[in-house]
Chains A and B, each alone.
Chain A
Amino acid sequence: MLSRVADSLYWMSRYLERTEQGARVLGARFDAILEESPTAAARGWARLTAALGVDPPAEEDEPQTAFARRLTFDRLDPGAILGQIRMARENARQVREEIGADLWVHLNRLYLELVEPETEALWQAEPVTVYGRIVDGIRLVRGVADATMHHGEGWHFLGLGQYLERTLQTIGLIDSFFDWPQTGELGEGDLILLLRSAGAIEAYNRVYTAQYMPGVVAGYLLFDRGFPRSVRFSVERLNGEIAAIAGQEHGRTRGPAGRMAQRILAEIDFNAADSLDGTRLHPLLQEVRVALGEIHAAIIATHVAYTVEAAIAG
């Protein structure tokens, strides 16, 4: 397929994943806010900006709701929910022939619903409902992609973007809560909020029952092979997508991206054997993050941004 198309699919998928996680984190934040002390709330918003990788409020006294509205409805800010859906939509618009009419229509509808003034009015009253709808809307788009697209190279580029972004998001989320040296302070409420933000609370309870210990929760989000948003699970899928994309070429090995993904898996499995503490957690997360950056660079260099001369010679 066209390199540009692969690139657009990959980014469309990354933006969708980023939006889904952003909406989930914001929804969990607003859900928690009713029962929080002001100090806890301030710490919560600080964690949120760290997890989503967005700038904290420019002015210290910007009200939290104004800040949250910006993070949700600013359609020109690539850090905001609407800005990201807009980017996903712009990428989708340029590859409509690849994704098919159904997928486009659902993504377009999600965008059009969000820009309606009624949505912002609803958000004023019921922010959690709006974030829930956004998450649902993206799940619908994903479901339509799965059910209607040809599961070929383009579809694998969607998977590549999805799982690479998902890994980054889960890492960011864990890191924002386990910001050593405060790890010891994480209470049950924090851990529940972390699991909610990861969409993991019910899945976790099924495995460990409703008992929350920092090491266990972090371990679940990092190492669990069955939870679909864990780092282990996401990198395993990412590895599969890399292999699928490479497998469609003649006479090429998995190359640097595949080797990098397998190295992350080995690293994770090696660390999973021991119990976690804050001193090891952050460096491990950082290592995975760097490796993901290298996977991204390797994929782009091999499939998208190569030179004509190199391709003719090769």
Chain B
Amino acid sequence: MSESKRASEDGDPSKAGAESNVEPFPARSGPWAEGLFARYSFGRAVDEMFERPGVPLPHASALYARLAELSSDELARRQAQVEHAFLTQGITFTVYGEGQETERIFPTDLVPRLITAADWDRLERGLTQRIAALNLFLGDIYGEGKVLRDGIVPADLILGSKNYLRAMRGLKVPHGTYVSICGSDLVRCEDGNFAVLEDNLRVPSGVSYMLANRAVVKRAFPNIFRELNVRPIDHYGRALLATLRAMAPPRAERPRIALLTPGVFNSAYFEHAFLARQMGIELVEGRDLAVHDNVLYMRTTSGLARVDVIYRRIDDDFIDPLRFRRDSMLGVPGIVNAYRAGNVTIANALGTGVADDKAVYAFVPALIKYYLGEEAIIPNVETYLCRRPAERDYVLANLDKLVVKAVGESGGYGMLVGPHATKAQREEFHARVSAHPDSYIAQPTLALSTAPCFVEDGIEPRHVDLRPFILTGRETVIVPGGLTRVALRRGSLVVNSSQGGGSKDTWVLGT
């Protein structure tokens, strides 16, 4: 079922449930009345499994039937198995404090989230379109700057951004690809359609959880997995390797590729090691690398070995202490010169952060039109730019309804969720937005769609988003799936793992 069809069939989906997000639906009968789903509730948001209370969407009916057969003890047992698998594989992050180190697994929920073939087809086309426009945009602003002269995007927004890197001016990148690995955050809105919430063009993470979730969840539900004809994702590592190979400087016939990690204390270290292992490439730290005569080498047991492509999982600021932060111990002195000399490709390119700025985000549909002459297949979430006086005034007058975000922050920091904020917090943001309107944007509070999650001894809805991973070398490849992030606290809309979010497996169904 297509998104638009679904929306039209359901009419206004907000009417499908009660007004509040947590109020249980009254009339219940059959397996729906008691047991696992007894606490399932509906609100403003659309649900990923149910058309209306007790009635699953057609593509989800088999999974619903299977879940309804299981006892909560059985689900708890499978959930424990999933968590144990994560722990022994070391899919953990370390919490430091008071001389103690505690290892925690990233919370994961075992109920898979389903995406129909038709929905996926549209997402795939939309994301491919979007990354094409963003790469053209980056090539333009680091090249001729036509888009700025034509007034499509205000020049000061780009040239004044701290993420605009002068070191990138005039540098040619292979295939014009600046962003080889993109992780866009999508949400399903109240109308049932997906929208892009954020483009992550720097060092998006989470793909290892997509793969790890799949590996364990398909074993927790083997029969239903087969029955639903779920599209495979385990070729992600090979697709990433092919993408990185395509990015090698033309000189390198058999390019040597390495993944640059900040090291074992980084919270995404598991992912770095995981991807390096999947691809069979070296996992390097800054101290393993050295630049000599603008050539990048890694230190091996038999001397120095030339490196052609760096898949960097380290921010721009830290990558070269000669260019950026002089106190950085994580980077490689001179790597930017080697990059500019064309002796090594860095993927993603440096300076891509300028295009996933929250203010630039608002212009992406216009950029798609400008570069490709097409309408955006996946819309943006409505966004108010506080740099525009009229929109700023609207934002200040409606702080209790809006989500306000600081431009240039990520990970859910520097954010005000109006309806959930205290008066003092709103006043603080009123002052901040008034003083620095350029630094803020605002969006309506979204009712992110909900998906069934196993919580304690029953299944309850939780808000989710979706982060697919878009690979671009010579061409764009998207593995059918993504990381579904879950706001595990009841009613919470914050899905970031740094803010108490978890994840679940995402099953894209075959045709």
Contacts and interface: CB of A to CB of B under 8 A. Distances in A.
Interface in B292-306: 292, 297-304
A46 interface: no
A47 B241 CA distance: 55
A2 B299 contact: yes
Contact of A105 (B88, B269, B302): B88
Contacts of A5: 282
B284 interface: yes
Nearest to B281: A97
B304 A311 contact: yes
A101 interface: yes
Given A93-B264, A94-B264, A100 B285 contact: no
Interface in A200-258: 245, 248-250
B290 interface: yes
Contacts of B281: 97
Contact of B88 (A90, A108, A312): A108
Contacts of B89: 101, 104-105, 108
Contacts of A96: 90, 273-274, 277
A225 B364 CA distance: 73
A266 to B, nearest CB: 27
Interface in B275-291: 276-277, 281-285, 287-288, 290
Interface residues of A, number: 31
B88 A3 contact: no
A311 to B, nearest CB: 5
B277 A101 contact: yes
B87 interface: yes
Nearest to B269: A93
Nearest to B292: A312
A112 interface: yes
Nearest to A6: B301
Contact of B304 (A108, A245, A248, A308): A308
A128 B457 CA distance: 41
B287 to A, nearest CB: 7
A139 interface: no
A308 B296 CA distance: 12
Interface in A1-56: 1-6
A101 B277 CA distance: 9
Interface residues of B, number: 28
Contacts of A250: 302
A153 interface: yes
Nearest to B293: A312
A93 B301 contact: no
A97 B283 contact: yes
B241 to A, nearest CB: 13
Given A2-B282, A93-B90, A105-B89, A312 B304 contact: yes
Contacts of A2: 282, 284, 288, 298-301
A153 B301 contact: yes
Contact of A248 (B90, B277, B302): B302
Chain A, interface SS category: helix
A304 interface: yes
A2 B303 CA distance: 9
Contact of B301 (A104, A112, A304): A304
Q: Which of B277, B285, B287, B292 has the most chain A CB within a 10 Å cutoff?
A: B277
B489 to A, nearest CB: 28
Interface string A84-123: 0000001001101100110011001100100000000000
Nearest to B274: A96
A61 B46 CA distance: 69
A153 B303 CA distance: 14
Residue from the set A4, A90, A250 with the largest chain B CB neighbour count within 10 Å: A4
B290 A3 contact: no
A99 to B, nearest CB: 9
B282 A90 contact: no
A248 B282 CA distance: 18
B274 to A, nearest CB: 8
A181 interface: no
A63 interface: no
A283 interface: no
Given A93-B264, A101-B277, A308-B290, A4 B285 contact: yes
A3 B288 contact: yes
Contacts of B300: 1-3
A138 B407 CA distance: 51
Contacts of B288: 2-4
A196 to B, nearest CB: 33
Contact of A308 (B87, B269, B292, B301): B292
Interface in B70-115: 87-90
Contacts of B283: 97
Interface in B222-270: 263-264, 269
Contacts of A94: 263-264, 273
Residue of B87, B88, B292, B298 most packed against chain A (CB within 10 A): B88
Interface of B: 87-90, 263-264, 269, 273-274, 276-277, 281-285, 287-288, 290, 292, 297-304
18 contacts: A1-B282, A2-B282, A2-B299, A3-B300, A4-B287, A94-B263, A96-B277, A104-B90, A112-B88, A248-B302, A249-B301, A249-B302, A249-B303, A303-B301, A303-B302, A308-B304, A311-B303, A314-B303
Q: Which 10 A-B pairs have the closest CB atoms?
A: A303-B301, A97-B277, A97-B276, A96-B273, A249-B302, A3-B299, A308-B290, A6-B301, A311-B304, A97-B283
Given A4-B287, A94-B273, 13 more contacts: A1-B282, A1-B301, A2-B299, A4-B285, A4-B288, A97-B277, A100-B277, A101-B89, A101-B277, A104-B90, A108-B88, A308-B297, A308-B299
